């Protein structure tokens, strides 16, 4: 988004990432790489948000954690007790001097670095993709009884306490459309934040892949003012009026990998299935019907493929485009088949039946907005900046690892639209902190959470 603003509006947004956090070791490795590549190694990478509060609070919550055998009502009571404890004791539980283990720096680092270390005028932002399993069929729709509530409650407590101390101005949050934003965010943060949200996805922006999400934002009532539409229905309508576009293309636009990549995939799968070893250059790049697929798919996948074939005529695009994920049965709660690239999950084998293509891991990334293909770039000088800086590291990972990562990722087209919408409808509560026009003297602002420090300067 900052690159686009610089290209289109002529000003630079300087920013600083102070920390990231993920409990997945694979994600931690990539975040460490991002710290080295993009932040000069300065940003911290923490391993578990549940460890980012005072040790006494950690111990108390651990003792409340329900056993795996606990029934739904017992889990609900346990997480309600956790929430009550954090509300009553957040002032000391969210300790600004607390340290937690940082993978990047190999030791304990301060979790909530004070605003003064960045700038008194810094716009401090937290951005989170909360665990979606409890709100989807994958987590049996456990909702408030799902084990991910423990981490979510700690995260919410951090937002509340840091807002009270004016150490954080804003947060962004992403989850599935079924996420209970009223019960999980709006009610528990009613005294500190104004919460706004929309339901959208790349398919609503003319981007031909499916990934519906509920996107939220919280504005610190002490430091920021929402000047956009009032009421959630009006906010949704205004957002859609500005950004909604119909899809003019099918998901085939993302099928940009070279034939050699597809051939290697078929050769590897044939070898894994014990059919026959074949050199990659002699392997097919496309499947020519069931006979070829029978050599690379499991029996379950092939059965699902056969059922999807029967649905193709009813659901395909005018040009015959039809995507399906053969890791999931038709009519199941999984990815929806059709002309759009289906929602990416942490595993999946996506086929396009008209062209006979298997969607490669690299193409999954492209559908999310992460450009990994250098030959898609315009020849004009400077456009290489829009290539994903971590593409070489990510594409070097095994296919299973890439599927897990892309299935947990956010869609950049939808997320960037939401960021822009919120920023353009938010002002500082203190009139002296309002941004000046770019032509005037530069003024510092800051964006974090990463804790990101933003400085707006005219481009020369």
Q: Give the range among 112-126, 170-184, 424-438 with minimum mean pLDDT.
A: 424-438
Write down the pLDDT at residue 181: 96
For the chain, where do the domains classified as CATH 3.40.50 start and end?
1-18+121-144+161-247+383-460
The Cα 66–Cα 77 span in angstroms is: 9
What are the distances in angstroms from CA 450 to CA 47, 110, 124, 130, 420?
14, 13, 9, 15, 17
For residue 291, name the pLDDT band (cuts at 50, 70, 90): confident
- Does the structural domain 1-18+121-144+161-247+383-460 have CATH classification 1.10.287? no
**Per-residue tokens: 243:** 């950004």
User: 299 to each of 21, 276, 294, 327, 356, how far by Cα in Å?
Assistant: 39, 17, 8, 11, 19
- Which H helix or E strand runs over 220? strand 213-220
Q: Strands, DSSP E only, in 53-169?
A: 99-102, 107-110, 125-129
Residue 457 has pLDDT above 80, yes or no: no
Percent of the chain at pLDDT exceeding 70:
89
Residue 402 CA to residue 413 CA, distance in Å, equals: 20
| Distance between CA atoms of residues 410 and 365, nearest Å | 10
* Count of Cβ atoms closer than 10 Å to residue 301 Cβ: 18
Per-residue model confidence (pLDDT) at position 142: 85
pLDDT digit string, tens, across residues 257-275: 998 899 889 888 888 877 7
Q: Residue 450: its pLDDT value, please?
A: 43
* Per-residue model confidence (pLDDT) at position 320: 95
**CB–CB of 409/31 below 8 Å?**
no
pLDDT in tens, 137-155: 665 678 999 999 999 999 9
Per-residue pLDDT averaged across 366-392, rounded?
Answer: 81
Quickly list DSSP for 247-304: --S-GGGG----HHHHHHHHHHHHHHTTS----GGGS-SS--SHHHHTTTS-HHHHHH
**pLDDT digits over 54-113, tens only?**
999 999 999 999 998 999 999 999 999 999 999 999 999 999 899 999 999 999 999 998
Q: Show the 3-state SS of 411-427.
A: CHHHHHHHHHHHHHCEE
The Cα 164–Cα 296 span in angstroms is 57
Q: Which of 450, 344, 454, 455 is CA-nearest to residue 21?
A: 450
Spatial separation of the C-alpha atoms in residues 290 and 30, rounded to whole Å: 38
Give the least confident one: 7-21, 176-190, 230-244, 295-309: 7-21
Asked if the model's pLDDT at residue 370 lies above 80, the reply is yes
257 or 9: which leads in pLDDT = 257
Residue 344's CB: how many other CB atoms inside 10 A?
A: 25
Range with the largest mean pLDDT of 257-266, 355-364, 431-440:
355-364
Q: Confidence band (pLDDT; 50, 70, 90) for 199?
A: very high
Q: Is the predicted pLDDT of residue 190 greater than 90, yes or no?
A: yes
> Range with the lowest mean pLDDT among 121-125, 235-239, 305-309?
121-125
Measure the CA–CA gap between 222 and 304, rounded to whole angstroms. 54
pLDDT > 70? residue 127 = yes
Tell me, what's the pLDDT at 2? 79
**pLDDT of the residue at 321:** 97
pLDDT at 439: 39
Q: What is the pLDDT of residue 8?
A: 79
Residue burial 143-165, b: 16+ Cβ < 10 Å; e: rest: bbbbbbbbbbbbbbbbbbbbbbe
What is residue 306's predicted lDDT score, i.e. its pLDDT? 94
Are β-strands 170-175 and 125-129 bridged in parallel, bridged antiparallel, or unpaired?
parallel
pLDDT of residue 134: 86
pLDDT at residue 159 is higher than 90: yes
Can you spell out the DSSP letters for 153-166?
A: HHHHHHHHHHHHTT
Question: Is residue 433's pLDDT more than 70?
Answer: no
| Mean predicted lDDT score pLDDT of the chain | 88
Stronger pLDDT, 306 or 290, i.e. the higher one: 306
Query: Edge to edge, what strands does the sheet with 11-14 contain?
Result: 11-14, 455-458, 443-444
For residues 330-338, average pLDDT = 90
Nearest to 373 by CA among 250, 208, 257, 251: 257
In degrees and rounded to multiples of 5, residue 59 shows phi and psi of -65, -40
Minimum mean pLDDT among 110-114, 282-286, 346-350: which range? 282-286
Decide if 267 contacts 245 (C-beta within 8 A): no
Query: Any residues with CB less than 8 A from the CB of 175 and at least 6 apart, and which?
Result: 129, 130, 131, 132, 135, 181, 213, 214, 216
CB count in 10 Å sphere of residue 192: 18
- pLDDT score of 386: 80
Cα(100)–Cα(109) distance, rounded to whole angstroms? 6
Mean pLDDT on 325-329: 95
Asked if residue 434 has pLDDT above 50, the reply is: no
Specify the range with the lowest mean pLDDT, choosing from 125-134, 366-375, 451-460.
451-460
d(CA 197, CA 181): 8
How many residues are listed for the chain in this entry? Answer: 460
């Amino acid at each position: 988004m900052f690159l686009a603003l610089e290209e289109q509006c002529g000003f630079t947004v300087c920013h600083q990432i102070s920390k990231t956090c993920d409990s997945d070791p694979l994600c931690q490795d990539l975040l460490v790489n991002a710290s080295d590549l993009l932040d000069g190694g300065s940003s911290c990478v923490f391993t578990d948000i549940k460890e980012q509060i005072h040790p006494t609070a950690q111990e108390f919550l651990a003792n409340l954690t329900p056993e795996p055998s606990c029934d739904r009502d017992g889990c609900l009571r346990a997480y309600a007790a956790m929430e009550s404890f954090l509300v009553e004791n957040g002032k000391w539980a969210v300790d600004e001097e607390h340290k937690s283990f940082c993978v990047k720096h190999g030791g304990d680092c301060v979790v909530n670095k004070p605003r003064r270390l960045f700038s008194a005028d810094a716009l401090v932002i937290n951005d989170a993709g909360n665990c979606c399993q409890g709100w989807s069929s994958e987590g049996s729709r456990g909702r408030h009884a799902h084990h991910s509530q423990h981490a979510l409650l700690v995260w919410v407590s951090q937002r509340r306490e840091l807002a009270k101390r004016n150490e954080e101005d804003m947060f962004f949050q992403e989850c599935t459309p079924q996420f209970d934003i009223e019960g999980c965010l709006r009610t528990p943060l009613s005294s500190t934040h104004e919460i706004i949200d929309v339901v959208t996805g790349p398919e609503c922006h003319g981007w031909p892949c499916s990934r519906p999400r509920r996107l939220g934002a919280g504005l610190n009532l002490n430091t920021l003012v929402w000047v956009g539409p009032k009421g959630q229905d009006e906010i949704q309508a205004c957002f859609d009026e500005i950004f909604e576009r119909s899809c003019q293309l099918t998901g085939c636009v993302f099928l940009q990998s070279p034939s050699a990549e597809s051939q290697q995939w078929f050769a590897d799968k044939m070898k894994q299935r014990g059919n026959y070893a074949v050199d990659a250059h002699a392997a097919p790049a496309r499947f020519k019907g069931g006979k070829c697929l029978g050599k690379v798919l499991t029996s379950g996948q092939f059965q699902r493929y056969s059922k999807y074939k029967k649905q193709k005529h009813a659901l395909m695009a005018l040009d015959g485009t039809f995507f399906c994920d053969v890791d999931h049965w038709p009519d199941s709660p999984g990815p929806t088949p059709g002309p759009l690239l289906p929602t990416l999950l942490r595993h999946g084998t996506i086929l396009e039946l008209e062209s006979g293509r298997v969607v490669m891991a690299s193409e999954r990334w492209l559908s999310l907005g992460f450009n990994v293909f250098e030959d898609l770039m315009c020849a004009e000088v400077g456009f290489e900046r829009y290539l994903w800086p971590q593409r070489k590291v990510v594409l070097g990972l095994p296919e299973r690892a890439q599927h897990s990562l892309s299935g947990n990722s956010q869609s950049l087209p939808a997320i960037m639209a939401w960021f822009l919408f919120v920023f353009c409808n938010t002002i500082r509560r203190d009139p002296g902190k309002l941004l000046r026009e770019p032509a005037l003297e530069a003024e510092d602002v800051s964006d974090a959470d990463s804790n990101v420090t933003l400085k707006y300067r005219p481009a020369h």
